[in-house]
Amino acid sequence: MATNGGFPAFLAGVRVLDLTQFEAGPSCTEALAWLGAEVVKVENPQGGEAGRSLLGRQSGPSQNQDSWYFLLFNANKKSVTVNLKSERGLALVKNMAKRADVMVENFAPGAIERLGLGYDVVHAVNPSIVYAQVKGFGTGGPYENNLAFDMIAQATGGVMSITGEPDGPPLKPGATLGDTGTGMLLAISILAALYRRRDTGQGERIEIAMQDAMLQYIRVALSNQATYGVAAQRNGSKVISGFAVPSGIYPCKPGGPNDYLYVYTSRTNPVHWQRLLEVIGRKDMIGDPRFDTAAARRQTRGDARARRRRRARRRHLRHDGADRGRRLQAARNHADDGAPDRRPVQDAGLAGAFRRSDAGRQAVAAAWTTHK
């Protein structure tokens, strides 16, 4: 696989035993590999990890080689093939675990235990190991034995419920937040466990459920829900709160499938609105009380939106405003929404109350649960 590409070897000397597959687990171990860890991926002797052929193998001169899907999540790793269902293979992996700093797995619930490589077994072999797992739903919750994929995590974790048009159905974002989003959180947790181990010498068991991980990506929606007492609504391409007016996606010339401009004007900085008016040639609207504040624009946004769309359609994506040195603050918004089914989240120990000493308010906070 690819070499390290010049990244500083922050994790040089750290050995990672990688028993992951597809995306949620491999994205985590690949991040550790990019940071300099020695990652050894254990694969099935019969064709290797299933991701090697997922979405089709490469065509042309590279035909029958590993899929791009596999390569993009497994760079910088070493690979070995081991039959985990044989006594010899199991003994080999236990020996690798004895010398590893980290072990990561994301098999279906109960599978790693049936293979004879559960936490208790591995901890007995290596008490200082950081044993990290991705599961679909939290251990101890009502869905702990259910399988999960990226789209299931996003659906049950609340991400889809806040994505889409206000009058339309929920949508799945294009980004794989359920898979890679969970993998990145697991990588961060592993780094924290390794940091603590420097002083204590103790290993750790870390489990992150994909459903729980989605709460990290919808916190703005949760804050809206806590503030107004109702679930956050879908708001299309605009910010979830609806207070930044205007914000949204507008079509531009030449009218291709991706010829759109995202406009965002912060309600905390009136200069953004003035810059936008200058760029689109509407200086005459500067100071107009109907549009001068975010609150006023929110009341009259229907008329303003129609005007912006007409002007955007007449302008090329490479807008001459850039040539004039004008800058608009642009950002891509991913929506957030009301809390998912709280019962499994609370059962997993993720949802807890905290009290602000200054105002005596309560809100919901998310905190990782570790298992020793």
In terms of C-beta density within 10 A (0-12 exposed, 13-18 middle, 19 or more buried), how is residue 103 classed? buried
Beta-strand pair 130-135/204-209: parallel
Active site residues: 179
C-alpha separations of 331 from 72, 239, 353 in Å: 25, 10, 32
- Considering only CA atoms, which of 245, 218, 248 is closest in space to residue 233? 218
- Considering only CA atoms, which of 228, 212, 249 is closest in space to residue 335? 249
Query: Can you spell out the DSSP letters for 289-311?
Result: TTTSSHHHHHHTHHHHHHHHHHH
In terms of C-beta density within 10 A (0-12 exposed, 13-18 middle, 19 or more buried), how is residue 282 classed? middle
Helix (H, G, I), strand (E, B) or coil at 222: helix
Q: Name the amino acid, one letter, at 307.
A: R
Give the whole-angstrom CA distance, residue 216 versus residue 178. Answer: 11
Contacts of 206 (CB under 8 A, 6+ apart): 130, 131, 132, 133, 186, 189, 190, 193, 368, 370, 371
Give the whole-angstrom CA distance, residue 188 versus residue 255. Answer: 41
Give the whole-angstrom CA distance, residue 138 versus residue 346. Answer: 10
Give the whole-angstrom CA distance, residue 212 versus residue 13. Answer: 31
Give the whole-angstrom CA distance, residue 106 versus residue 24. Answer: 7
Give the whole-angstrom CA distance, residue 266 versus residue 276. Answer: 11
Give the whole-angstrom CA distance, residue 217 versus residue 338. Answer: 12
81 phi/psi in degrees, rounded to 5: -105, 130
